[in-house]
Amino acid sequence: MGEEEWLACRGPIESGWLTSGPQVQAFEQLFAELHQVPHAIAVTSATTALHLACVALGVGPGDEVIVPAFTWVSTANVVLYCGARPVFADIDPVTFNLNPEDVKKRLSPRTKAIMAVHLFGLCADMDALREVAGSVPIIEDAACAAGASYKGRMAGGLGVVGCFSFHPRKSVTTGEGGMCTTSDSELAERIRSLRNHGASISEEQRHKGPRPYILPEFNILGYNYRMTDLQAAVGLVQLKKMHSFIQERKRWAEYYFRELSEVPWLRLPHVPEDYGHGWQSYVTTVLPDQAPMPRNDLMEYLQQRGISTRPGTHAVHMLAYYREKLGLQPEDYPGARFANDHSMAIPLHNRMTAEDFEYIVHTLRNITA
Ligand SMILES: Cc1ncc(COP(=O)(O)O)c(C=O)c1O
């Protein structure tokens, strides 16, 4: 965030149009263009985007939705919001994304959708997932994947609906915020209405309409998941920088690859050929049999030296709520469990200096037991 974002807030404040209006429309349009999809619908977070994707696809009681066991908790939570059952599938601990073979085993006649998470900005293997999914729709949890691509196509246009996050830990931020993308006009209309209480027309259309006595029709149960124009004004500035943000992160990711490739106990992120990584995070794996100390001790060691690290994310099946609700054991998903226990995101963001990166590399290369 900088001066331009600060100045961008002036427009909506001066205009008096604070909730979803012209800035949101412009933000949606640019997001759609950048992600090569016909429709983008701005909402309040990726969580609400995922919720609307499920509702729009008719996910409800009695249905199952396949969710990776290693993701952010809200990928699974939204399935429960709909009264349906999340069915976890294991991940490949090398890419941190869904293992299509495991997805195949979890499919049932009740499977209503599959959540393909593009974790940390790396797209899931959509071709392999589509092959096992057959006619089951795939929702992209692209929370981390703004600007990412898969075999020449942008994230957000790879499934039936794509769901993005603008949380500050993401490459492009609006403080909080999210986006649904889709190529399906009917789904887009449904999601647009669902985010606005189920209204048949938008606030702006109503405000500017010729007949002030007409309120919208409300034919479906909706929500208030509207993004504000203040957020969208900031988002527009951020989006214009998205390419340069990602390019800069990519350059430093390449530096990490070069400089850390000979640290034998640290597995670096895997980027398959023909994938454009979004570099939301640079997530390594501390290999337990080779590392000079266990992952958590290493994280403390780095913290004491001013280097902030985090586990990539959590294994949702090991969180108390899910473990108890669904009767799950840590060993049910060995890939997710391994990633939960051994993944480590090392610093990568657009405010870091060359000295920061050099210091991190120097520290990691010189760790001994
Ligand atoms: C994979 C994944 N899904 C969903 C979310 C939720 O995003 P939000 O905070 O915008 O609701 C996140 C956020 O970190 C995420 O990483």
Per-residue confidence of the chain (369 residues) as pLDDT tens digits? 999 999 999 999 999 999 999 999 999 999 999 999 999 999 999 999 999 999 999 999 999 999 999 999 999 999 999 999 999 999 999 999 999 999 999 999 999 999 999 999 999 999 999 999 999 999 999 999 999 999 999 999 999 999 999 999 999 999 999 999 999 999 999 999 999 999 987 777 777 777 777 778 888 999 999 999 999 999 999 999 999 999 999 999 999 999 999 999 999 999 999 999 999 999 999 999 999 999 999 999 999 999 999 999 999 999 999 999 999 999 999 999 999 999 999 999 999 999 999 999 999 999 986
Alpha carbon distance 124, 12 (integer Å):
37
Handedness of CA 104, 110, 113, 116 (dihedral sign): negative
CATH number of 3-240: 3.40.640.10
Is the CB–ligand 1 distance for residue 165 below 6 Å? yes
> 203: which DSSP letter?
H
pLDDT reported for residue 209: 76
Residue boundaries of the structural domains of the chain: 3-240, 243-365
Q: How far is the CA of 94 from the centre of ligand 1 (A)?
A: 21
Ligand 1, closest atom to CA 176? 10
Alpha carbon distance 79, 75 (integer Å):
7
Q: How far is the CA of 210 from the centre of ligand 1 (A)?
A: 40
Alpha carbon distance 248, 349 (integer Å):
9
Ligand 1, closest atom to CA 170? 14
Ligand 1, closest atom to CA 165? 10
Alpha carbon distance 135, 43 (integer Å):
27
Q: Report the residue among 144, 179, 279 best suited for mutation to probe ligand 1: largest number of ligand atoms under 8 A from its CB.
A: 144
Is the CB–ligand 1 distance for residue 116 below 6 Å? no
Is the CB–ligand 1 distance for residue 47 below 6 Å? yes
**Nearest-CA residue for atom 16 of ligand 1:** 72
pLDDT reported for residue 248: 98
pLDDT reported for residue 204: 73
Is the CB–ligand 1 distance for residue 140 below 6 Å? no
Q: Report the residue among 74, 169, 227 best suited for mutation to probe ligand 1: largest number of ligand atoms under 8 A from its CB.
A: 74
Q: Which CATH number fits domain 243-365: 3.40.50.150, 3.90.1150.10, 3.60.9.10, 3.40.640.10?
A: 3.90.1150.10
pLDDT reported for residue 30: 98
For the record, the structure tokens of 319 come out as 């969180």
Tell me how far apart the 2 most distant CA atoms of the chain are, in Å: 75
For the record, the structure tokens of 280 come out as 């939301």
Is the CB–ligand 1 distance for residue 78 below 6 Å? no
Is the CB–ligand 1 distance for residue 75 below 6 Å? yes
Ligand 1, closest atom to CA 49? 11
Q: Which residues are catalytic?
A: 170
> 110: which DSSP letter?
T
Alpha carbon distance 172, 49 (integer Å):
16
Bridging pattern class, strands 64-68 and 85-89: parallel
pLDDT reported for residue 20: 93
pLDDT tens for each residue of 42-57: 999 999 999 999 999 9
Is the CB–ligand 1 distance for residue 74 below 6 Å? yes
Q: How far is the CA of 72 from the centre of ligand 1 (A)?
A: 6
pLDDT reported for residue 264: 95
Alpha carbon distance 274, 311 (integer Å):
27
